[in-house]
Amino acid sequence: MTRSDIRGALRARRRALGVGERARLSRAIARAVVKAMGPAPRGRRIAAYAAMADEPDLAGALATLAGRGALIYLPRITSFRRRQLAFAGADGGQRMNRYGIAEPLRGAPEIRAGTLDVVLLPLVGFDASGVRLGMGGGYYDRAFAFRRHRHALSRPRLIGIAFACQQVDTLPAAAHDVRLDAVITEHGLTRFRRRTR
């Protein structure tokens, strides 16, 4: 199977959960996210995402973390042509982009990807070695390309957010893939061993 075939199959698997089941599992994932961030996240720079219809919804978890003093950032696409994104403060209002995803308004303060502490990434699929399959645009892989190098900093920690049904045994890794440090599902946090090229 190609990555495109796998992506289609996993998206269908995620849709098959149904609205009620997705909501129940999203609540469990949100609790696991809050637990993983620790009891005192004050000042931590955490990037997340605004969920699309089938993705785990982290809105409640992000509100809890912000209430405990974490600084929350969301991605904003800065170039559709070059498939680039930046991260900006989540508290200054949002608008829908051309993909129908909520993102911070233009002018909201941005933060360099390398200065984030944690990034909670959406995904379509993942495997036991931390390979992440996204929607296919490569936005996150470009934003965190610096993490692929042997001497790269170990931050930000890249944590995939998914339903457990999105895991597969193995995914074909592409040269540009940036592996996850961990994943959070409704079953909690699973860490992956760091691999470098």
| pLDDT tier, 197 (very low <50, low <70, confident <90, very high otherwise) | very low
Q: What are 170's two structure tokens?
A: 């193995």
Please check the confidence at residue 152 and state whether its pLDDT lies above 60: no
Quickly list H helices, the chain.
3-15, 19-36, 59-67, 139-143
pLDDT of residue 150: 55
Read off the pLDDT of residues 2-60 as tens digits, 9 standing for 90 and up: 888 999 999 999 999 999 999 999 999 999 999 999 887 789 999 999 998 899 999 99
Separation CA 12–CA 105 (nearest Å): 31
Q: Are strands 71-79 and 45-47 parallel, antiparallel or unpaired?
A: parallel
Nearest one of 132, 184, 172, 175 to 25, comparing CA atoms? 184
Phi, psi of 186 (to 5 degrees): -65, -15
pLDDT of residue 177: 83
Read off the pLDDT of residues 84-103 as tens digits, 9 standing for 90 and up: 999 999 887 889 998 888 99
CB neighbour list of residue 125: distance below 8 Å, 6 or more residues apart: 6, 7, 10, 132, 133, 162, 166, 167, 168, 171
pLDDT of residue 155: 82
pLDDT of residue 125: 95
Fold topology of 3-191: Rossmann fold (3.40.50)
Nearest one of 58, 12, 8, 22 to 37, comparing CA atoms? 58
pLDDT of residue 196: 47
What's the distance, CA 32 to chain centroid? Answer: 14
Task: Kindly report the pTM of this predicted structure.
Answer: 0.92
Report the 10 Å Cβ neighbour count for 62.
Answer: 23
